[in-house]
Amino acid sequence: MNPPSRKIIHCDCDCFYAAVEMRDDPALRDLPVAVGGRADQRGVVATCNYAARRFGVHSAMATSQALQRCPGLVVLPPAMEKYRIASRQILAIYRDYTELVEPLSLDEAYLDVTAAPHFQGSATLIAQEIRARIAATVGITASAGIAPNKFLAKIASDWNKPDGQFVIRPHEIDAFVAALPVRKLFGVGKVTAAKLQRLGVDTCADLRGWSQVKLLQHFGKFGERLYALCRGIDQREVSPHSERKSVSVEETYTPDVPDLAACAGHLRPLFESLQARVKRVGAERDIRKLYVKIRFADFRQTTAECVGTVLDQAQFDKLLETGFQRGRPPVRLLGVGVRLEEEEDSPQLGLFVSDGEHSTASGSGDN
């Protein structure tokens, strides 16, 4: 007998930081607004409202580039305490419906409402009420996706944005996923998507024609995940106690750092900051990998990493040299960090790997 289908909600606020700013200053509502760093300090956009997105502005874009695309863009500095207050209000609403809440950031979370008694167990009605309460209590809008697993719920929450929701029922999964572009699959970034396209794979229906053995040959361990996801299978549970996976520090430099020797000089204070942060969060015994992240002046990015269980300045120096050889100086950003557990989606690439596909930026992303 098959287990009963789960009811997962992915709730995601719409352009969270910008939404809070527009709530507090209604004069901003009809203007293109971004929250992020200053253009003259090499800042990036954390998030922006939909008026700005119509000009092609998006999160992780350099603020200077965003202003070129949208000269009338209003750029506001992040007010993190204000956003944290709103986040706490939103999480309190989620937890009125279930204890199984897995926050992903300040403004989004998974909720497992399979056993929730509200509305006779209707996840659709629960999501509607949550969104209405967020609007009434916090003063911003949220979108929601409802599905039998986390992968599909997250995709569904983006389907009717902003201020909407979308349901994928169990009997709809097969047809829905078959038509889905492979770039929508969890863990597929630009590099993997481009590789799949070169192999003639554009949709999940195309990918289903590949055997698991063939996917493993081309994509390593991640091939297993691709095989399952293109069939709509995701067994991950909603975890209210998600563990920290990494600790890192990074710095953007103005002007750019010209060469390897100068980068090495900047590495020491970064290493010392990382030591302090690792100690502060009590992660010394959980270190599994060390890595150095480099973003060059042309915005190309690479990450060099190696297996390691202790913080070692000499090892970080080697990683810096390895990563530096992959790009063209000067360098605009350096970062150092540790991974506390293996990434499930990453194929085994040997001692040193380049991870140009998985870049991150502070902020709430393209919500």
As annotated, the binding site for Mg(2+) includes 12, 107
Annotated binding residues, as ranges?
12, 107
Q: Tell me how far apart the alpha carbons of residues 294 and 271 are, in angstroms, rounded to a whole number.
A: 14
For 178-207, b where at least 16 C-beta lie within 10 A, e where not — what string? Answer: bebebebbebbeeebbeebeeeebebbebb
Identify whether the C-beta of residue 137 lies closer than 8 Å to the C-beta of residue 89: yes
Identify whether the C-beta of residue 218 lies closer than 8 Å to the C-beta of residue 224: no
Write down how long the chain is: 367
Question: In the annotation, is 108 catalytic?
Answer: yes
DSSP structural state of residue 182: G
**Of 102, 108, 250, 305, catalytic:** 108
DSSP structural state of residue 355: -
For residue 23 the two structure tokens come to 């709530």
Q: Tell me how far apart the alpha carbons of residues 173 and 191 are, in angstroms, rounded to a whole number.
A: 26
Query: What is 24-60 written as a DSSP string?
Result: H-GGGTTS-EEEE--GGGT-BEEEE-HHHHTTT--TT
- Residues with a known catalytic role: 108
